[in-house]
Amino acid sequence: MNRLVRLAAVAALALCPSVSAQAQETPARQYTPEQIDRLIVHAQSGSAVIRPQAAERLARIGKPAADRLLAMAGTSLGELALLGPSLIEVLGRFDDPRFRALLWPAMEDAEFPWRPAVSRSLAHRPLPAEWGRLQGFLEDPIAPVRLATLDALALLSSDGDAARAVPFEPLAVARLTDENDVVRRRAAVLLDGRGHSRALLWLLEDLQRTDTYFDLPTGEAARYAAANALQALDIELAGFEAYLPPTTETNQAALGSLKERLLTRARASEAKLPDATRALVPRTVPAIARVGGPVEGARLGLLLKSCRRGDYYLRWTDDDQLIIGYGNPARVKLPEGTTRRLMAAADTAQEANPGKVYWGRPGCDMESFRMPRVGQPDARLQQLILSKDERPAPDLRPAALSTLGAAMAASIPTDDVLDASDPRTRELAQRVRGAFASIGGPVAPR
Amino acid sequence: MPFLVLLLLIGGVIAAPGVLLDRSWKVGGQVQAAMERGEAPSNEVVEVSILRLKNARYRKGRSLPEWVQELDGKKISLWGYMAIGTLEGLGEFELVPESCECGKSKVNHFVQVTLDDDVTRFIPGRITLVGTFSCGEVEEDGFITSVYRLSTDQLP
C-alpha cells in the first residue's frame, strides 16, 4: 500500500510541474545587484554555517548571479580560488560552459586549494564528452574528489547511453575496495541501483563496526552512515539502532534479519542481470571493508588532513606496530624500540613548546599529533594541532614538531616491505611526506 | 477509470510532501525509554551523542524528531570537538563531531555552545560538556544559524 501511495506521489509530482515549481526560490528578477553582492559576501566570508546557504541561494537565482560570479571568477586559477569553496561548489549548477572551462583546469591542478568543491561542482551536471576526463579522478588522492567523480560517472551512465552504462559498473566495483569508507558506501549504493544489490553487504559490515581512532568514534559514525544509506533505499532496518553497539541483543537480532533481507534482495536482483555481469561484485567482502579487531596500546598518533594530498590516520603501538587507517586498519610490524624512540621525540616536542597546543589559522589543512603527556604517562593523550587555510604556510610547524614529524615519516617502512595491493600502504612514506609538505611545510627526507 | 486516475493524482499531491520528503526515520527511543523507566528524571543529566544529533532527520522548516524535541530544556552531557576555527576570548563556539570541518558546517552538524561564566580558549581533542540543551531553528538575516544549542557555565 505504501508503495502505491509513493507511486501516486511520484506520478503526481511528475504530472504537475506547477507543484514542484512552487518550491523554487523567488524569481531572479526580484534580486537587485546589491542583494546579489550581499549574498556573495555572505558566501565568501560569512560564518561557516552561512556560507553554503548563501551560495545555494545564489545558485537558485540563476543568470544574474552567474553573470556577477563570472566577472569575479576572472580568467586565472588564482582569481577562481578567491571565490572560496562555497561559491565554487555551486558554479556547476549554472549550466554555463564558461564556468566549466574555468573549473576543469582547477580540477586538474593538484595544487588548487578547493578541489573537493570543484569536483562536486563539475559533478552536478556532467557532460557526456567529459567521461574519459573524469575517469582519471577515481584514483585521486582526495576522497571527496573520488566520491564526486563516482557520482558524476553514475549520472552520465544513467543517461540512457547503453554503450556507456556497461563500463560504469566495473569502475564502481573497483571503488568497493577504496581506502575511504564513504566512497565504498557510495559505490555500493550506486551498484545496488544497477542491479548489483550484493554490494549492500558492504553496508551491513559497516553496521557492525565499533572501531575508533583514539577518541574519535569512526565505527559509530560508519553505523549511522550505513543505516542512513539503507533507509534512503527504503530498506527496513529490522529495529537496528545505530547509536547502540552492534553487540546488543536487539541489534544482533536486527542484523540477522537484515542480512537475510539483503541476501534475498541480492539474489533477486542478480537473477535479472545478464550472465556476463552477474558475478561482478565479489562474493565476499574484502578485508579493507570488513569489521576490524581492536587496536591495543596505541601511544602515538598522526592525523594528516590535506585538501591537496588526502587524509592519513596513523598510530604507533606499545608493541611496535604501525596501524594505518581505521575500520579494519592495515598493521605493519616495525623494528623493536621504534615507538619508544618516537615517544622520546614527542616529549622533546612538548618540552620545547610548553603549554602550546595549537599553531596556525583556521582552515581545512590540519596536522594532529597525539602523544602521552610529559610526566603523566597514564593521563589522556595530549593533542597538538596545526591548521592552515588555502594560503601556503611553509614555516608553520615549530622545529621540534618537525623533528617528530620527520621521525614518524622515517619510521614508515619502505615500499618493498609494504603491501602494494593495499591502497593504504602503497607508497605510504612518500605520500605522508607530501601531505606534511602541503600543510606545515616539509619534514626532513629519509 | 479516469476518476480513479484523478483520485490517485489528488491523493498523490496531498501525500507527496509527507511521503517523499518526510519519511519517518527510525531514530531515537533510547531517551524516551530511559525516561519511561524512570532512569532519567528531568533534573538529571541525560547523556547524548553528538553523532546521533548530527544524524537526526532535519529539514529546514520541519519539526525535529520527537526524541530531540524531548531533550529541549533538559540538562545533557555531550562530547565533541571545538571547531578548528574557534577564536579565543569569545562567549560561544561550535561543538562538532570531528575537529576539522573544512570551513563550512551543515546547520544540524554542530551544537552552538554558549559559555555563561567563561570565555573560549582553544582546546584540542575531545571535550565533554554538561549544560542545558535547546533545539529549533534560529534564523538571522534569512539564514539558519543554529538548530542545536547548549548553554553551559564553563569549559572543562
DSSP assignment of A283-343:
SS--GGGSPPPP---EEEEEEEEETTTEEEEEEEETTSEEEESSSS-EEEE--TTHHHHHH
Mean pLDDT lowest among A335-349, B74-88, B124-138: B74-88
Indicate the DSSP class of residue A12: H
| Interface membership of B20 toward A (CB under 8 Å) | yes
Closest CA to A435 of A413, A411, A405, A407: A405
Report chain A's terminal Cα–Cα distance, integer Å: 66
Which residues are registered as beta bridge partners of B93?
B113
Q: Are the beta carbons of A8 and A14 closer than 8 angstroms?
A: no
| Interface membership of A104 toward B (CB under 8 Å) | no
Res B130: pLDDT: 96
All 3 cell numbers of residue A49?
A: 554555517
Q: Are the beta carbons of A270 and A288 closer than 8 angstroms?
A: no
Residue B28 has pLDDT above 90, yes or no: no
B83-101: average pLDDT: 82
All 3 cell numbers of residue B131?
A: 549544560
Residue B33 has pLDDT above 60, yes or no: no
Res A361: pLDDT: 82
Res A29: pLDDT: 53
Res A382: pLDDT: 92
Res A163: pLDDT: 55
- Verify whether the Cβ–Cβ distance A5 to B30 is below 8 Å: no
Residues 6+ apart with CB under 8 A from B65: B25, B27, B28, B56, B57
Q: What sections of A195-248 are H helices per DSSP?
A: 201-206, 218-232
Q: What sections of A323-427 are H helices per DSSP?
A: 338-352, 399-410
Mutation for testing the B interface, residue in A2, A18, A25, A50 having most B CBs under 10 Å:
A50
Give A 138-197 residues with CB within 8 A of chain B. none
List of chain A residues whose C-beta atoms are within 8 Å of the C-beta of residue B26: 231, 237, 239, 241
Res A335: pLDDT: 97
Confidence of residue B103 (pLDDT cuts 50, 70, 90): low
Res A23: pLDDT: 38
- Verify whether the Cβ–Cβ distance B83 to A48 is below 8 Å: yes
Does the ipTM surpass 0.85?
A: no
- Verify whether the Cβ–Cβ distance A368 to B143 is below 8 Å: no
Res A299: pLDDT: 96
Q: Are the beta carbons of A230 and A261 closer than 8 angstroms?
A: no
Q: Are the beta carbons of B25 and A21 closer than 8 angstroms?
A: no
Domains in chain A: ranges and CATH: 1-125 (no CATH), 140-294 (no CATH), 298-440 (3.30.1560)
CA distance linking residue A179 with residue A29, whole number of Å = 47
CA distance linking residue A188 with residue A140, whole number of Å = 19
Distance between B86 CA and the closest CA of chain A, angstroms: 8
Q: Are the beta carbons of A69 and A83 closer than 8 angstroms?
A: yes
B56-67: average pLDDT: 94
One digit per residue, the tens of pLDDT, for chain A of length 446 reads: 444 444 444 444 344 433 333 334 444 457 899 999 999 999 999 888 899 999 999 999 999 999 999 999 988 999 999 999 999 999 999 989 999 999 999 999 999 999 999 999 999 999 999 999 999 999 999 999 999 999 999 999 987 665 565 589 999 999 999 999 999 999 999 999 999 999 999 999 999 999 999 999 999 999 999 999 999 999 999 999 999 999 999 999 999 999 999 999 999 999 999 998 899 999 999 999 999 999 999 999 999 999 899 999 999 999 999 999 999 999 999 999 999 999 999 999 999 999 898 898 877 789 999 999 998 888 889 999 998 888 888 789 999 999 999 999 999 999 998 988 899 999 999 999 999 999 999 997 64
Residues 6+ apart with CB under 8 A from B41: B35
| Interface membership of B26 toward A (CB under 8 Å) | yes
